[in-house]
A and B are shown apart, each in its own frame.
Chain A
Amino acid sequence: QVQLVQSGNEVKEPGASVKVSCKGSGFIFNTYAFSWVRQAPGQGLEWMGLISATNGKTNYAQSFQGRVAMTTDTSTSTAYMELRSLRSDDTAVYYCGRNYNDGSLHPWGQGTLVTVS
């Protein structure tokens, strides 16, 4: 079945970097784009950016420009999101989602909790 499986939870110190992976299966990975969305504890959803697995083009939300890098490895059907210079307010669950042309996201990965402490 179509699914996205993310890497495990992480604990990082302030100032460090974290890299989260998102492995797709059940579909042709390099025909889609992938978004990353985060959710701080008890808060709503915040879009971070997206990457096309077709051509590697990225579009980052302004609030993450300069601090985030999204990549894909089509040989392993995996998308990656690296966030640098972590702060305590980066503590959140990070999700990946597969983009459709109308902008809807389906499916989503199970989420990766990143704790900065």
Chain B
Amino acid sequence: EIVLTQSPGTLSLSPGERATLSCRASQSIANNFLAWYQQKPGQAPRLLIYGASSRATGIPDRFSGSGSGTDFTLTISRLEPEDFAVYYCQQYGSSPLYSFGQGTKLEIK
């Protein structure tokens, strides 16, 4: 069973700074089927990145994804006030078919 571990649990940064969020898998994720989501309070998650590094439609280019195998990273190059939220990574294809990381809360410093 693949377990996704996100770090850090909470990241405190200021607008304009660079954010680096990590997602580590307990086993290699085939085909880089790794996605990232943003969730704001009271809202449904929103797809940011799919296939580890492809931006979803309408997602600003300050969001980028990288990595392969077991180590993946979501980078926000220059934080805007609306970027402060909780971020989840998610894998597809291994047992269980889907799993999510526990989330990283990005908060304003």
Contact = CB atoms under 8 A, between A and B. Distances in A.
A23 to B, nearest CB: 15
Contacts of A46: 100
Given A44-B103, A46-B100, A50-B97, A110 B33 contact: no
A109 B101 CA distance: 20
Contacts of B31: 102
Given A44-B100, A44-B102, A47-B99, A103 B91 contact: yes
B100 A111 contact: no
A59 interface: yes
Contacts of B50: 100, 102, 104, 106
A61 B97 CA distance: 8
Interface in A60-111: 61-62, 95, 97, 100, 102-111
Contacts of B56: 104, 106
Interface residues of B, number: 24
Interface string B50-90: 11000010000000000000000000000000000000101
A103 B54 CA distance: 13
A103 B35 contact: yes
Nearest to A45: B100
A92 to B, nearest CB: 13
A107 B45 CA distance: 9
A108 B45 CA distance: 7
Contact of A95 (B44, B90, B91, B101): B44
Given A104-B50, A104-B92, A47 B98 contact: yes
Q: How many A residues touch the partner, as a band?
A: 20 to 34
A35 interface: yes
28 contacts: A37-B100, A44-B100, A44-B102, A45-B90, A46-B100, A47-B96, A47-B99, A61-B97, A61-B98, A95-B44, A95-B45, A102-B31, A102-B33, A102-B50, A102-B51, A103-B93, A104-B35, A104-B47, A104-B56, A104-B90, A105-B47, A105-B90, A106-B50, A106-B56, A108-B44, A108-B45, A109-B44, A111-B44
